[in-house]
């Protein structure tokens, strides 16, 4: 079947299997920043944004995402122009192995889209569905708060 969606701001049209999950389809097309950690929707390494809402792509049929606007980690920033959330994770020392990082960054972007001034508890809740075995979450929580501050700064500067 056909998969038609807006991916990172551009239209895509792919042939997919009806039973294919979104993680597999994205990875097969080179969007490998979307990670597979559990494939049961428990670890959040596969998180992407669907119409701005964070979803675990490993348990979402690609067919269900067809017709929607999707954002993956590749759609956020580049080496020369990282997204403020990506910079915040680097600066906070929130990245150790980096495998869960794309999912956490997506969660951060989703949170900041809803709530420009999150508290530490908001940050915890936003990361609550993202398992990380390296950091103990201390620096990722700092990174979320710093990302929010940077985004507020960007908004003020217009």
Partner 1 sequence: MRKGDEMTKEFKTPDGWDTGAASMGEYERFKTVNKSERRVDALKLALGKGTFADDELPAGTLHVKVLWSPHAHAKITRIDVSRAEKMPGVRCVLHHGNVPRVPHTTAGQGFPEPSPWDAYMFDDVVRFVGDRVCAVGAETEADAMRALEVIDVEYALLPAIFDPEEALKPGAVRIHAGPDPRGIADTSKNLAAHLHAVVGDPERGFADSDLVVENEYRVGYHQQSPIEPHVAVTWLDENNRLTVKVATQVPFHSRRILAQVLEIPVSRIRVIKPRIGGGFGGKQEILVEDIPALVTLRTGRPARLYYTRAEQLVSARTRHPAIVRLKTGFKKDGTMVVNQMKAIGNTGAYGAHALTVFSCTGGKALPLYRAKHYLFEAHVAYTNLPIAGAFRGYGGPQGFFATEIQMDIAAERLGLDPIEIRRMNMLRPGDDNPLAVALGEGREGYPQIIRSCGLEDCIAKGKEAIGWHRRGTFDTSGPGAGHLRRGMGMVLLMHGSGIPGIDMASAFLKLNDDGSFNLLVGATDIGTGSDTILSQIAAEALRVPLDKIVIYSSDTDLTPFDTGAYASSTTYITGNAVKKAAEGTLRQLIAAAAKIWECEELGLQAHDVAIWHPDGRRLTYGEICISTFYNHNQHQIMDHASHLSYECPPPFSAHFCEIEVDTETGGVKVVKYVAAVDCGVAINPKAAEGQTEGGTSISLGWALSEEFRFDESGRMQNAGFDGYKIPSALDIPEFQSILVPTYEPTGPFGAKSVSEIPTDGPAPILSNAIYDAIGVRLLEIPFTPEKVLAAWRAKVAGR
Q: What residues make contact with partner 1 under the rule CB under 8 A?
A: 30, 32-40, 42-43, 45, 72-74, 76-79, 82, 86-87, 89-91, 93, 95-102, 105, 123-125, 127-141
Cβ proximity to partner 1, 36 vs 152, nearer residue: 36
Asked if 103 contacts 142 with a C-beta cutoff of 8 angstroms, the reply is no
Cβ proximity to partner 1, 63 vs 94, nearer residue: 94
Cβ proximity to partner 1, 3 vs 89, nearer residue: 89
Q: How far is the CB of 4 from partner 1 (least distance, A)?
A: 23
Query: Residue 97 and residue 101: Cα distance in Å, rounded?
Result: 8
Cβ proximity to partner 1, 24 vs 63, nearer residue: 24
Q: How far is the CB of 100 from partner 1 (least distance, A)?
A: 5
Query: Residue 6 and residue 66: Cα distance in Å, rounded?
Result: 9
Concatenating the DSSP letter of every residue in 85-126 gives: HHHHHHHTT--SS-SSHHHHHHHHHHHHHH-SS--HHHHHHH
For 69, the enclosing helix (H) or strand (E) is: strand 69-71
């Amino acid at each position: 079947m056909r998969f038609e969606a807006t991916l990172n701001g551009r239209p895509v049209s792919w042939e997919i299997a009806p039973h294919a999950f979104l993680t597999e389809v994205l990875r097969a097309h080179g969007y490998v920043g979307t990670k597979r950690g559990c494939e049961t929707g428990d670890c959040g390494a596969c998180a992407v944004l669907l119409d701005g809402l964070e979803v675990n792509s490993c348990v979402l049929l690609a067919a269900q995402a067809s017709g929607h606007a999707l954002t993956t980690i590749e759609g956020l920033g580049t080496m020369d122009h990282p997204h403020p959330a990506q910079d915040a994770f680097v600066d906070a020392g929130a990245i150790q192995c980096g495998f869960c990082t794309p999912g956490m960054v997506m969660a951060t972007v989703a949170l900041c889209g809803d709530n420009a001034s999150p508290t530490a508890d908001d940050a915890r809740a936003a990361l609550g569905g993202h398992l990380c075995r390296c950091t103990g979450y201390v620096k990722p929580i700092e990174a979320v708060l710093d990302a929010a501050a940077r985004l507020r700064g960007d908004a003020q500067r217009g």
